[in-house]
Each structure stands twice: as C-alpha cells, then as structure tokens.
Amino acid sequence: MALIDNTRSALLLVAGTAAFTLSDVFMKLLATELPLMQTVALRGVLVTAGFLAIAAPSGALSVRLARGDAVLVALRAVAEVATAFFFLTALAHLPLANLTAILQALPLTVTLAAAVFLGEPVGWRRLTAVLVGLAGVMLIVRPGPEGFSLHALYGLASVVCITFRDIATRRLSAAVPSLLVALVTAGSVTLAAAAAAVAGEWVDPTPAAAGMILGAAVAVFAGYLLSVMAMRRAELGFLSPFRYTGLVWALALGLVVFGDWPDALTLLGAAIVVATGLYTFHRERTRAAAASAPQG
C-alpha cells in the first residue's frame, strides 16, 4: 500500500509542479499586456477567493493562533509578498527555464539556513554539496561584460525570500492549519499588489488577458491542492526529488511557448544544482534512517 501511495503522490506532485509552471507561463505572457502589480492583484483576488471557499467550511478560519504562530504567519506573509515582487519581475525579463533553474537551489539554501538559524546538524558532505550547488547557481547567473544582470539578482533575491518563508514555516506548530496559512499568504500578496496597482496606471484587460489571468489563478490553485494531496499520503524523502520536474516543465514550455533554450553553461549549472540537491536529499534520508535504527 505504501508503494501505491508513494507512486500516486509522486504523480500528483509532478502534476502540481506542472500547474505552477503553467501559471508562470501565463504571468510571463501577461507581462507585455498589463502592469505587473495589476496582474498579481487580479490573479490574487481569484486565488484568495478559492482558498476562502475551502477554508471556511473546513473550520480553519476559527482556529486561534498562539502568539508565536501568529508572528510566524505574518513574517511568512511578508516574505511571500517580497517573493512575488522579485520572482515575477525576474520572470518578465528572464527566460523561464533560467529562472526556474535558479530556484532549484532552494533545497540547498533551506538546508544551509536550517543549520544556521534552527541549529539542524549538517555534516561536511552536505555542506560541501550546498557549496558546490551554489557554484552551479553562479554558472546560471554568471555576469556579462556589464556585471550581473539585475533581473538575475532578482531571481536570487526570490530564493532568499522563499528560504526565509520556508524556515518560518518549519517553526510553525502542528496546530496551525495549512489552509489558514495559504489564505493569509494569498490575501497578503493580493492586498500589497492592489495597493501598488492603485498607485500606478490601470489598464483594462483585453478578453485574452482576462483569460490568461483566470488561467494563472486556476493553475496556482490547482498546483497548491495537488501538492497538498501529494504530501499527505507519501514519504517526504521519496517525494522531494520529484520537485525537480519543474525544471523539465520549464524547459519544455519555455521552448514551445517562447522559443527559449538555455545555453550550455546554464544547463551545466542547472545539472550541478539538481545533482547536489538530490545528493542532499540522499544524505538526509541516510541520516534519518541511521537515527531511527534500533541501537544494539
């Protein structure tokens, strides 16, 4: 039964990753149609409404958070607002696969941050893998004659923000409903984007743009639900490597939709990042198995 659950969950996670990547495609297409913050706000209204429709009957809205959890949820929301700004700005100017490749460093940065801020043990093997993986990121964002691309730096900034968000998530107690966290996060991003959109120019969406906004919202919502369904019935260590299928989706959709294909150094950097990330997962599973083994 465990094997069946793991296989089903892996397929759900792959589908969820594809949904998130499809949303990125819509948002990149919309970058030439509408102001960024207006697009984020309109998508956010739809996503927040979807989360609210699910969270309300589940009882998640009636949960009273402890003070520490409330602070962490708020900090997580701030990190998500910053992530949305940096990631979507970078997405509008960088090839989809390049930006997605940068994001593959997340397991490495979270491992490093967990060691620094949470005191989680990290042996020399995993630390070496993290450093090699970060060197792979440098191959992806390598500077040109004028220095580092501003938008590549925005991509790196989004990695830092997501890392902070994930560390805050790890500190949350088990009493905090995931739907409540998702709702607060989506609502915060929507409100921040709406405030920025009001301060800027408003452009009436064309029917095609409205359709893409709806598509982006549906894709994000589906990606979230599929990911949660995957995580609830499988071993985390088994599922983690399947997150890297996001790079495959980004390569395929980037080529089909935008005609982009990364150069050799970018692909080499992406391969290094993925390989070191997979090694990090392997070491974590090995350490967990050793810790749980009966002592003779």
So what's the pLDDT on residue 256? 95
The CA-based diameter of the chain, rounded to the nearest angstrom, is 70
> In angstroms, rounded to a whole number, what is the distance separating the alpha carbons of residues 290 and 27?
44
Instruction: Kindly state the average pLDDT of the residues 145-156.
Output: 79
Give percent above pLDDT 70 in the chain.
89
Task: Please choose, from the candidates 180, 179, 241, 168, the residue with its C-alpha nearest in 3D space to the C-alpha of residue 6.
Answer: 241
- Which residue has tokens 């993290």? 130
Q: Is the pLDDT assigned to residue 251 strictly greater than 60?
A: yes
Helix, strand, or coil (residue 295) = coil
Give percent above pLDDT 90 in the chain.
49
Token pair in block for residue 9:
């969950």
* Res. 12 pLDDT band, cuts 50 70 90: confident
Do residues 72 and 132 touch, judged by C-beta distance below 8 A?
A: no
Q: Is the pLDDT assigned to residue 23 strictly greater than 80?
A: yes
So what's the pLDDT on residue 26? 97
> In angstroms, rounded to a whole number, what is the distance separating the alpha carbons of residues 91 and 24?
8
Residue 100's domain spans which residues? 2-292
So what's the pLDDT on residue 60? 86
Q: Model confidence over 270-288: pLDDT tens digits?
A: 999 888 888 887 776 676 6
List of residues 6+ apart from 27 with CB closer than 8 A: 39, 43, 88, 91, 92, 216
Q: Model confidence over 34-82: pLDDT tens digits?
A: 999 999 999 999 999 999 999 889 888 888 899 999 999 999 999 999 9
Q: Regarding predicted confidence, which is higher, 239 or 138?
A: 138
- The total number of structural domains in the chain stands at 1
Question: Which of 14-28, 111-125, 176-190, 275-289 comes out lowest in average pLDDT?
Answer: 275-289
Helix, strand, or coil (residue 144) = strand
Token pair in block for residue 89:
């700005």
Q: Model confidence over 70-95: pLDDT tens digits?
A: 999 999 999 999 999 999 999 999 99
Distance of CA 79 to CAs 163, 191, 193, 290, Å? 9, 14, 14, 34
Q: Regarding predicted confidence, which is higher, 84 or 10?
A: 84
Residues in the chain: 296
What integer best gives the mean pLDDT of the chain? 86
Q: Regarding predicted confidence, which is higher, 128 or 6?
A: 128
Q: Is the pLDDT assigned to residue 99 strictly greater than 80?
A: yes
Q: Is the pLDDT assigned to residue 296 strictly greater than 60?
A: no
